[in-house]
Amino acid sequence: NSSTLLGTFFCKNLSSYSKSAGNYHFINRTITSETICKTSCQNFSAFHALYAKLEFSYSIPDNWLSWFVGFSEGDGAILSYNGRPLFVLTQKEELILQHILSVLGFGTIRKIDKKGTIFYRYIVEDFTGVLLLALIFNGNLAIPNRVKQLDKWLSEINLKLSTKGSRIYGLCSTIVPSTCLFKPSLNNAWLSGFTDAEGCFNVNITKRENTLTGYRVILRYVLDQKYALDELTYISSLFGYGKVIIRSTDMYRYYCNSIIGLVNVCNYFKSFPLKTKKSNSLANWLKVYKMVLNKEHLTTEGLEMIRVIKKTINPKN
């Protein structure tokens, strides 16, 4: 939770390295179902304009930004602490955070050792970096709870933008909070980022009579997220197959285990590849998927090969 996260944020047992976004500010409102509209397009023009103004030497592709928004909605924390906006991404996988740092060009990565458990955090705490992130997120978020979190940021940052003496005073106009939720599609990378954060691909082998080998091979694509019943139901409609179930209080899961339905899943991730080490699991999962399509799982040799490949999907280390 946020209190635990903030506690480790300020803990001493960590190491870090960072990039600065420079020395170069957001409006309070209440989000209700009546005030939310939906849009199928993401717009990063305000971010691109400020990014260029700050003299970054390159332009970040919109597809990467869309992936980053999806990843952030899954694993990110849009926090406020004593009027101080913070953005935190927590991962056991250091490489993906290094990738994000290198592409964005600002932020800090901290290595945290918590009683022998090692994990990493990408953190943005300076107002310039937070301002850039807010411009990426504003109008481009798909989950209402994330929009509410962003609103607290916007109120704090707009105050800084309009306060003389602030490091970001006058850097850009105060930011008008978007009243629209983004509707993901199979034509952008948001779902790829969200899957990198909250999804998995797995293979189950269960006993089943009336089969040549006595076993059934089940492939699944899974997404888990709290407070996201509507969003996961919508994702189910995008793929045209699958179900949404309740896992625990406020925790929902979308899964697709239909061979026909998984065709759309496979096609999507071919167009918008994963960026974390889950891409390795997906590659091996696809090997099993192709074997099932070719009915190799109905042979003893094929089933044993699937057992071997299964061990390489979602390894613990």
Q: Summarize pLDDT for 231-257 with one digit per residue, the tens.
A: 999 999 999 999 999 999 999 999 999
Distance (Å, whole) CA 39 – CA 298? 45
Indicate the angle between helix axes 300-310 and 278-293, nearest 10 degrees. Answer: 170
Among 231, 292, 233, residue whose Cα is nearest residue 259: 292
Nearest-5° angle of CA 128, CA 129, CA 133? 120
Q: What is the pLDDT of residue 8?
A: 43
Q: What is the mean pLDDT of the chain?
A: 88
CB 85 within 8 A of CB 156: yes
Q: What span, in angstroms and rounded, lies between the C-alpha atoms of 232 and 144? A: 13
Burial label for 196, CB within 10 Å (0-12, 13-18, 19+), is buried
Q: Which two tokens stand for residue 188?
A: 């952008």
In the numeric block, the tokens 């059934």 are attached to: 216
Residue with tokens 């960026």: 275
pLDDT at 258 over 80: yes
* Nearest by Cα to 181 from 47, 79, 35, 65: 35
How does pLDDT run across 18-60, given as a tens digit for each residue?
454 543 322 233 334 444 567 778 999 999 999 999 999 899 9
Average pLDDT of the residues in 190-214: 93
Domains and CATH numbers, the chain: 2-182 (3.10.28.10), 190-310 (3.10.28.10)
Cα atoms in the 13 Å half-sphere on the side-chain side of 61: 5
Confidence at 170, pLDDT banded by 50, 70, 90: confident
pLDDT level of residue 191 (50, 70, 90 thresholds): very high
* Contact (CB, 8 A) for 26 and 157: yes
**Burial class, 156, CB count within 10 angstroms (exposed 0-12 / middle 13-18 / buried 19+):** buried
**Residue 57's pLDDT is what?**
87
Give the tens place of pLDDT for each residue, 58-112: 999 999 999 999 999 999 999 988 878 999 999 999 999 999 999 999 999 999 9
Check pLDDT > 60 for residue 182. yes
Angle at 139 between CA 92 and CA 201, to 5 degrees: 35
Residues 46 and 42: their CA atoms lie apart, in Å, by: 11
Looking at residue 61, its pLDDT comes to 97
First and final C-alpha spacing in the chain = 24
Measured in whole angstroms, how far is the alpha carbon of residue 263 from the centre of its chain?
Answer: 22
The predicted structure's pLDDT at residue 37? 65
Length of the chain: 317
Q: In whole angstroms, give the CA distance from residue 102 to residue 77.
A: 20
Strand partners, 38: 181
CA 87/CA 85 separation, integer angstroms: 7
Separation CA 145–CA 204 (nearest Å):
33
Q: And the tokens for 14?
A: 């960590």
Are 136 and 124 contacting, i.e. CB atoms less than 8 angstroms apart? no
Provide the percentage of residues in the chain whose pLDDT is more than 70. Answer: 88
Q: From 96, 166, 95, select the one nearest 131 (Cα to Cα).
A: 166
Coil, helix or strand at residue 80? strand
| Residue of 163, 36, 56, 43 whose CA lies nearest to 103 | 56
Residue (of 140, 310, 150) closest to 215 by Cα position = 310
DSSP 296: G
User: Is the per-residue pLDDT at 124 higher than 90?
Assistant: yes
Task: Judge whether residue 121 has pLDDT over 80.
Answer: yes
**More confident of the two residues 28 and 182:** 182
